[in-house]
Amino acid sequence: MAEKILVTGGAGYIGSHTSVVLQEAGYEVLIIDNLSNARAEVIDRIAEITGKKPDFTQLDLCNSEDLHAFFDRHPDIAGAIHFAAHKSVNESSRFPLKYYHNNLAGTINLLQAMERANCHNLVFSSSCTVYGQPDQLPVSEEAPLKKAFSPYGNTKRMCEEIIRDQAEANSLQAIALRYFNPIGAHESARIGELPLGVPNNLVPYLTQTAAGKRESLKVFGQDYSTHDGTGIRDYIHVTDLAEAHLKAIKRLLKKENKASAEVFNLGTGTGYSVMDIIRTFEKVTGVRVKHEITDRRAGDIEKVWADPGKANQELGWKARFGLDDMLRSAWKWEQSLKE
């Protein structure tokens, strides 16, 4: 019998790619999603790619009664991968309580339901935002956590701490994965990132500009201390991230973890500037991106890239895709949205 893995937020961007990889590896995937920022068709797309429809329940993690009932109906879940959360940095600054309530209550309810159901393996979706602007680059897991620039970032750090405390006090075994900048889409272009409204992130804004949906891409600042003055990030293909989640849940199921709460950085280890991204996109697609330099965006850090050495050595995971592939797949996905 295939082991059952619960994926919260499995209809979302990273959750859907991870559900595909889990099903392809032979796991039975159960998805919970409240569809607040995702579409139900994504479940059919996962079925189209993998040949198997995951079990889907529309459920809000803030509703603990429904969540307990869900675990009662599925008493044999081997582990959970927890993505479900609000994720807009910008919106979180305007509506902090919405973010603290949803992201913290959802995580606490999930931990309580898992404890009650004797389900002890959890992979948590975290972010490099917990490092703020690190003092040293590349940034390793040993770097001190800094006050985040947004309520969203704070929720990621606080959830990590709640999970670590629960793992220390109880039988929970947890891995937090700190993503750098996820971009790109599944090679089939049947699933990808679906930004509602005006995208905040660079690559969705860029592909929408290239597609003619946006007038011009604003490059936020050209006076940073970087090779061309624009901000540097470590962009990582969403398929590589999905594969890291598979490795992480397997590590827990096989009891190969070295501590009850572990953290791993997920990045390529290479940083690219905003102008590098624009130039590379133009090179691989042949499409020009109209852009203009504007002021810095409030709250942005100058540069960050990962030391992925711990994930490389201990998880046996390494990013396979380079920037050309990431941007090509992001463009293929954007073009599929027109059809």
Q: In which residue are the tokens 């796991």 written? A: 27
C-alpha dihedral, 152 to 158 to 163 to 167, nearest 10° = 160
Contact status: 279 vs ligand UDP (CB under 6 A): no
**Of 24, 66, 300, 314, which one interacts with ligand UDP (CB under 6 A)?**
300
**b/e map 122-146, b = 16+ CB within 10 Å:** bbbbbbbbbbbebeebbbebebeeb
Residue nearest to ligand UDP (CB): 231
CB neighbour class for 320 (10 Å; exposed up to 12, middle 13-18, buried from 19): exposed
> What is the enclosing helix (H) or strand (E) of 148?
none
Type and span of the H or E element at 159: helix 151-169
Round to whole Å and give the CA distance between 243 and 100: 29
- Segment contacting ligand UDP by CB under 6 A, of 39-47, 49-57, 135-143, 215-223: 215-223
Q: Phi and psi of 173, rounded to 5°?
A: -115, 120
Minimum distance, C-beta of residue 147 to ligand UDP, in the bound complex (Å): 16
- 92 three-state secondary structure: helix
Supply the minimum distance, in Å, between the C-beta of residue 193 and ligand UDP. 11
Q: Binder to ligand UDP among 70, 99, 152, 205 (CB under 6 A)?
A: 205
Q: What is the largest CA-CA distance in the chain?
A: 57
Of 171-179, 218-226, 306-314, 318-326, which segment contacts ligand UDP by CB under 6 A?
218-226
How many chain residues bind ligand UDP (CB under 6 A)?
A: 14
Which position among 297, 316, 322, 324 is part of the footprint of ligand UDP (CB under 6 A)? 297
Part of the chain binding ligand UDP (CB under 6 A), chosen from 11-19, 138-146, 216-224, 281-289: 216-224
With beta carbons less than 8 A apart as the criterion, state whether 126 and 248 touch.
Answer: no
**Residue with Cβ nearer ligand UDP (214 or 251):** 214
Q: Is 231 in the site for ligand UDP (CB under 6 A)?
A: yes
Q: What whole-number distance in Å separates Cα of residue 117 and Cα of residue 76?
A: 9
Say which of 99, 152, 205, 235 is annotated catalytic.
152
Distance CA 276, CA 274 (A): 5
Nearest approach, Cβ of residue 151 and ligand UDP (Å): 14
Nearer to ligand UDP, 98 or 297 (CB): 297
274, 278, 311, 315: which one contacts ligand UDP (CB under 6 A)? Answer: 274
Please identify which residue in 211, 220, 287, 325 interacts with ligand UDP, judged by CB under 6 A: 220
Counting every residue written for the chain, the total comes to 339
Considering only residues 50, 63, 201, 270, which one is a binding residue for ligand UDP as defined by CB under 6 A? 201
Which positions from 147 to 186 touch ligand UDP by CB under 6 A, shown as an x/- string? ----------------------------------x-----
- Does 152 participate in catalysis according to the annotation? yes
Q: Which residues contact 52 (CB under 8 A, 6 or more apart)?
A: 23
For tokens 């979180």, what's the residue?
Answer: 92
CA–CA separation, 305 vs 178, rounded Å? 12
Burial class (CB in 10 A: 0-12, 13-18, 19+), 50: middle
Options 53, 218, 279, 318; binder of ligand UDP; rule CB under 6 A: 218
Closest distance to ligand UDP from the beta carbon of 215 (Å): 12
Task: Kindly state the helix (H) or strand (E) to which residue 176 belongs, with its residue range.
Answer: strand 173-179
317 binds ligand UDP (CB under 6 A): no
Taking the complex as a whole, the smallest distance from the CB of residue 123 to ligand UDP amounts, in Å, to 21
Q: What tokens were used for 15?
A: 């959750």
> What is the contact surface with ligand UDP in residues (CB under 6 A)?
181, 200-202, 205, 217-220, 231, 233, 274, 297, 300
Q: Enumerate the active-site residues.
A: 152
